[in-house]
Structure formats: C-alpha cells, structure tokens
Structure 1
Amino acid sequence: MAALNDLLKKFYDIAANPDKQLKSYLEDGKKVVACAPIYTPEEIIHSMGLIPMGVWGADVEIKEAKKYFPAFICSIMQSVLELGITGVYEGVSAIVIPSLCDSLKCLGQNWKYAVKDIPFIPMTYPQNRANEVGKKFTKAGYERAIKELEVATGAVFSEEALQKSIEIYNAHNVAMRKVSDLLIHYPQITASQRSDIFKSAYFIEKEEHTKLLDELMNILQETSQVENKKIKVITSGILDDNKNLLKILDDNNIQIVGDDIANESRQYRIDAKPAVSSLDALSEKFSKMDNCSVLYDVDKKRANYIVDLVKHTGAQGVIIFMTKFCDPEEFDYVIVKKALDSAKIPSIMIEVDRQMVNYEQAKTIIQTFKEMIG
C-alpha cells in the first residue's frame, strides 16, 4: 500500500506543479513547446528533440485576457491567454494551437498580439478529415507546422526520429487505455487520483509517463481488490480536473470507471499505423479520430459511443461536465442526453468553468444523482 501511495503522490506532484516541470526542463537546457487543446501533434514536437507540454489553462482570475476576449467565451481559452500574458509560460519556445473550434481560432489570433515573445504556430485541421483530400490537407498542415517549429526553435525534423516518437506515443496510448480499464476494479483509487494520472501526462515526456503507468499497473495487480460499494459513473466533457468538484464525487462515494473527457481518454483512443511516411501515418490517425464534440460528425456517433461505454464499464450513470460557453459540447448535449434517456441511463449535467468558486449547486446535483441511482 505504501508503494501505491508513493506512486500516486508522484502523479499528483507532476499534475499539480507544471511550473516546476517547465523550470526543470529549461534548467536542463531543453526547449519546451506549449501544446494547446485539443489534438496538437505532440509526436512531431517530441521527434524534434523538444518537450511538448500541455496548456489547458488554470483556475485563475481573468484580468488581462479580458482585453482580448468577450466574457461569453470558453474559460479555458481565457485562462491560457491570461497565463501567457502574465509570464507563466516564460521560457517556452513556441505555442502550437489547433483551430478545431471558434474559441481556439480566437486564442491563436489574440496570442499573436498579446504574447509577442512566444511565437504562435497554428495547426489547421480539416473537419472533413476522412477522405483523401482531407488527409492531404492534414499532412500539409503538419509540414507547415514543422517548418515554423524549425524557425522558432532551431530544431531539425527527421523521418526516422518521427517514426520512433510515434512508437513511443503508441505505447503510451496503450498504457493509458490499460490503466483506465484496470482502475475499474480498484475503487480505492479516488476520482481525484484518477485525474492526477491523466493530467500528469501533459507535463512530462511520454516515455517517462509510460514508465510510471507500467509501475502503477504492476502495483495494482499485486494489490488485493476490495469489495466495490461505490456508485460507478462515466464522465463526459472537455475538462474535469477541478479538485473541488472531484472531492464532491469522492465524498459521495462515486467512482469514475471510464470517461469521454477531451483532456483524458479522448487523447488515447487511436494509434498511428504504419504508412508510406510517418506524416502519412499521423494524417491517417487523425482521419480516424471520432466521437468528439470538436470533430465534425454528421451522424453524431458520440452519443451511442457513450451509451456503449456505460455498458462496457458497468457504470450506473453519466455525469456531463459542461464547459461554460463551449458551443461544440452544448450542441452535442441534446443528442447525447436523448441517447442516454432512450437507453434508460441516468445522467446529470453540471456547468463548469475555470473561474468556478461556488460548488453548492454542483454538490446538490451530485447528491441528488447519488440518491437517484444509489
């Protein structure tokens, strides 16, 4: 048990202290590239000898970013810009921002004017991504991003290095999926600890995180399983790393047994397969990504995906963390809710943002949900 607690503390320390990780990499003479949500091509950045570091904002008061954004826009984007303006990302060599939603497009354009000392590199993806034209467009976007990364950092791209990085990232994807499935059987791992495992992946190199995941799986497999008396749920949304909200789940004896969260499991569903070139492999990978609110899908298969995830994990219900002013998630919610109701799966929706300070309403909703399905 001591070994498990020590390892969980490592995940927590990494997840809670990205500034410490950044400082450590910079002191070692390494160059760091910030990776904004949601599908930044980290494999490319990693292959160039750079450190990809996720930036999903933080729970901070928005002051300077208000000069660039209206109040009714995703708080993740606002807080990313706020941290950039206030110097939290000082030392970062560049930031790569995909353009998969309107808010991300605004973040990129505002970043150019608000944070002039950190170059903005756009990653433009096609929404019609599965056909040959879409794949060529994606590949062209990768090629342009590579050129801009070389200019911003002085690093050099190579096909061989990218192939190796793809193998590293594929291995990490597999480990993350295995851990997610394994945690179903270990209710002693709290919702907050599960969040640390996923969140920490954004702040250290993937090969190092994979080692921690392997160690975690080994320890868990040697740990006696306990009787599961918790209420099992699936979470869905863009982000659910708020410690106050996660504590409410833990206080109410609720276990997260799987997720459809953008900064958690959505990142690890698809591996890159061998192709003509490594960039072709990455383009093919993106073409196969699906079941996400920011990825175009006329059939909205994500709704049935969540229903199937509930059945696969044995969950008793779904908690949807709705990021305030996130249009893609709000559009999907009606369809997801309809599918859950049709399958007779209980669900609740809790609106969240990076400036959330009052949790009483969320606490009441979760307690009522617990009583409804407990």
Structure 2
Amino acid sequence: MATLNELLENFHDIACSPKKQLNAYLEQGKKVVACVPVYTPEELIHSMGLVPMGAWGADIELKESKRYFPAFICSIMQSILELGIRGEYKGISAIVIPSLCDSLKCLGQNWKYAVKDIPFIPMTYPQNRKPESGKEFTKASYERVIRDLEAATGEKFSEASLAKSNEIYNEHNAAMRKLAEVLEQHPSITAVQRRDIFKSAHFMRKEEHTALVSQLIEALSQVEEKESKIKVITTGILADSDGLLKIFDEHGLQIAADDVAHESRQYRTDVNLELESLEGLADKFSRMDHCSVLYDPEKKRAGYIVDLAKKYKAKGVVVLLTKFCDPEEFDYVMVKKACAEAGIPIIQIEVDRQMVNYEQAGTMMEAFIDML
C-alpha cells in the first residue's frame, strides 16, 4: 500500500492538474461532462458511462469573460467562462449548469454564445424542493437532463445503471464523512493538504476516489499524533486558495470541520436506495439543507454551524465569504448572530478567484487568534 506521503502527493497532483486528469480520461476513450457547482446531478452522468468532472473555476486573470459579465459578479462564474473561452475544457462532451442562483443562470446563457462548441445543458431546480410537487419538478428536470445528455454524447440512460451509480455515490459520501472525522484527529494534516483531498474528488470517478480515501484512512490510522493546533470551523462556498489556506498553517490553526460547498456539503445527504433510482435522486435533493443557495426561510444553517463548532470543540468560526455572492452575504447576518448568541468568536474573510495577496487576511487572522 502507498505511504501517507505518497497518498498526499497523489491527491495534490490530481487537485492541481485537472487538465491532466481530463486528458487521461479522454485518452482512455471516455467521454467527460463538466459539472458546474453547486449540486449538479453527477449520479445521472456517471450512470451513463460518462465521467463527471467538477468545474469550479480557477485563480486566473479574467479577460474575455468580462465581455459577458459585469465586474460585480461571482469570480467563480467568471473564471469558469474564461476557461471555456480559452479552450481549457476542450474535449468535454457537454457542460451541465444548475440554476440555483442568479449568477449561475447568467453563466448558462452566456456559455451558449461564448463557447459554442460545448453543449450547455441546464439543470433547473425548484425553489420549494421538499413538497411532493417539488420532488416531481426535480425528477422532470432530471429527465430533461438525461435527454440532453443522450443527444450530446450518444450514450443511453437506464434505471438499473443509475441504481448502481447511486450506490457508488453513497459509498463515496460515507467515505468522505468518515475521512472528515479522521482528519479532525490529525492536526498534522495541513489546510492545503485537506483541501487537496476534497478538491481531487471533483476530478475523479467516485469509485476511484473512494479507493484512494480508504487507503488514506488506513495510512492515518498508523500515525501517532503529537501536534496540537487551535481548532476552527470554516464555512462558505469555496476554500481553494493556497495563499489563504497557508495562513491557517502559519498561525497554528486546524480546520476541525467545514461547512464549505466545495467540500463537506457535497457529502451530507445520501440517496434512499429503497426508492426507484430516479425518484431516489429527486428525494435526495429534497432532503438537502443548510446551504446558502438552497431555499430556507428559517435559516437553519446558522444553527448547524453553531452545532458543528460545539461538536468539534472549535474555538471559532471562519466565514470565507465569496465576493459578490449574494446568498452567502444574506446568510452571514444570521450566522454571525447565532455565533454571538452561542459565545463563539467569528471572523469574515472575503475571498475571490482574482485575489493574489492575502496579507490583509493574515493580519485579520492574527487579530482573531489573539481574541481566541
């Protein structure tokens, strides 16, 4: 079995080389479909023998995408379009874009005109996802995605294949939840390494990633921890910048758990395998909660973050607020209030795919640590 360092290096290489991963799958004769955040139905894509590959943007200079977006819009969306225009997604068979926020809706429409050689497939989710009518709407939207995927790729859908993919994704969810618990016991794993493990999952077939995660859990079980750090909880859409994450390590902070859309939020809800496969997938979406882009008039996410901090005995909460993300900004008020009432220190750090200098964030973090 690979050593711990070998496994961590493997996760790092995959996380930092999505184009290499894409080309490797294409060379194997596989068809790849890009999946835009936050909750693209990967199980559907996987069940058709296609490779779902996450498209969360990149820390790059924006040029061409500025012709389609105003400056005051999420840089994740802008950088996804920029990569598409530059040809970085060359070889993929289609891109699926959900409609969970206004920026995502704009991305889909702009993609049709800016990247004409890669078919855009919309995934329309209902706002009221929990009633039976909401589940039926979600299922109908999945059926539309299936038809579009069949047209774009030439592959065929079957309920039996989806049932198997639902099992594979449930197994991966379980492995990632277990890993999160294990990592909390290993403060020697840096914030960047933790990111690599979660990020790499977006660029691999889930059964392949589950196998790597299982090896990592076994390797970590052989490690005797001697290091101790200050535990914090991170929350937000994305925590991907090396410059930002290194601040955690430089100041002796450990991410004990996260409520990050790019990370643990992906793995909280399983498909009910007792239901017919497509209904089970729609039911899964209806049960997803505690996320800024999911309709929640009671804002239960705030209480969830407080409970997470208490569970892991975290000293504070770090809100990584994606710049110009309205849903996250609306939620922050509730999260801050809930943390204040619970006596949990909280800090907000603005993040952006365009940021190259995190000196101000480092200064803010120093002050936050003094407060802790």
- Specify the code of the residue in structure 2 equivalent to 1:305: Y
- Specify the code of the residue in structure 2 equivalent to 1:200: S
- Specify the code of the residue in structure 1 equivalent to 2:266: Q
Equivalent in the alignment of 1:9: 9
Whole-angstrom distance in 1 between the partners of 2:102 and 2:227 = 46
The 3-state SS of whatever aligns with 1:314 is coil
Alignment map for 1:194-233 (pairs within 5 Å): 194-228=194-228, 230-233=229-232
Whole-angstrom distance in 2 between the partners of 1:277 and 1:205 = 23
Shift of 1:227: 4.4
Whole-angstrom distance in 2 between the partners of 1:52 and 1:226 = 39
Identify unmatched segments of 5+ residues in structure 2: none
Equivalent in the alignment of 1:292: 291
Shift of 1:194: 0.4
Is the CA contact 2:270–2:284 (under 8 Å) kept in the aligned structure 1?
yes
The 3-state SS of whatever aligns with 1:307 is helix
Shift of 1:225: 2.4
The 3-state SS of whatever aligns with 1:23 is helix
Equivalent in the alignment of 2:121: 121
Shift of 1:276: 4.0
1:243-267 deviations in Å (ceiling 9; x for gaps): 0000111111110010010110110
Whole-angstrom distance in 2 between the partners of 1:285 and 1:152 = 26
1:73-119 deviations in Å (ceiling 9; x for gaps): 00000000000000000001000000000000000000000000000
Q: Is 2:267 aligned against 1:268?
A: yes
Q: Is 2:341 aligned against 1:342?
A: yes
- Specify the code of the residue in structure 2 equivalent to 1:22: L
Alignment map for 1:22-171 (pairs within 5 Å): 22-171=22-171
Whole-angstrom distance in 1 between the partners of 2:59 and 2:81 = 13
Shift of 1:2: 8.2
Equivalent in the alignment of 1:184: 184
1:17-58 deviations in Å (ceiling 9; x for gaps): 000000111111110000000000000000000000000000
Whole-angstrom distance in 2 between the partners of 1:67 and 1:14 = 31
1:116-157 deviations in Å (ceiling 9; x for gaps): 000000000001000000000000000000000000000100
Where do 4+ consecutive residues of structure 1 move more than 4 Å? none
Indicate how the Cα distance of structure 1 residues 102 and 227 shifts in structure 2: closer, same or farther if over 3 A, else same. Answer: same
Shift of 1:274: 2.4
Shift of 1:323: 0.3
Identify unmatched segments of 5+ residues in structure 1: none
Indicate how the Cα distance of structure 1 residues 227 and 334 shifts in structure 2: closer, same or farther if over 3 A, else same. Answer: same
The 3-state SS of whatever aligns with 1:284 is helix
Whole-angstrom distance in 2 between the partners of 1:62 and 1:25 = 28
Whole-angstrom distance in 2 between the partners of 1:266 and 1:190 = 20
The 3-state SS of whatever aligns with 1:297 is coil
Whole-angstrom distance in 2 between the partners of 1:276 and 1:225 = 43
The 3-state SS of whatever aligns with 1:367 is helix
**TM-score (norm. length: structure 2):** 0.99
Shift of 1:371: 1.6
Whole-angstrom distance in 1 between the partners of 2:277 and 2:69 = 37
Whole-angstrom distance in 1 between the partners of 2:122 and 2:5 = 40
Whole-angstrom distance in 2 between the partners of 1:117 and 1:227 = 51
Equivalent in the alignment of 1:239: 238
Whole-angstrom distance in 2 between the partners of 1:26 and 1:2 = 26
1:275-319 deviations in Å (ceiling 9; x for gaps): 442110000000000000000001000000000000111111010
Whole-angstrom distance in 2 between the partners of 1:286 and 1:84 = 28
Is the CA contact 2:63–2:82 (under 8 Å) kept in the aligned structure 1?
yes
Whole-angstrom distance in 2 between the partners of 1:227 and 1:101 = 41
**TM-score (norm. length: structure 1):** 0.98
Whole-angstrom distance in 2 between the partners of 1:227 and 1:357 = 30
Equivalent in the alignment of 1:313: 312
Shift of 1:63: 0.2
Equivalent in the alignment of 1:359: 358
Whole-angstrom distance in 2 between the partners of 1:130 and 1:211 = 33
1:202-249 deviations in Å (ceiling 9; x for gaps): 001000000011001111112112242x11000000000100000111
- Specify the code of the residue in structure 2 equivalent to 1:310: A
Equivalent in the alignment of 1:254: 253
The 3-state SS of whatever aligns with 2:3 is helix
Is the CA contact 2:321–2:328 (under 8 Å) kept in the aligned structure 1?
yes
- Specify the code of the residue in structure 2 equivalent to 1:238: I
- Specify the code of the residue in structure 2 equivalent to 1:282: L
- Specify the code of the residue in structure 2 equivalent to 1:108: G
The 3-state SS of whatever aligns with 1:170 is helix
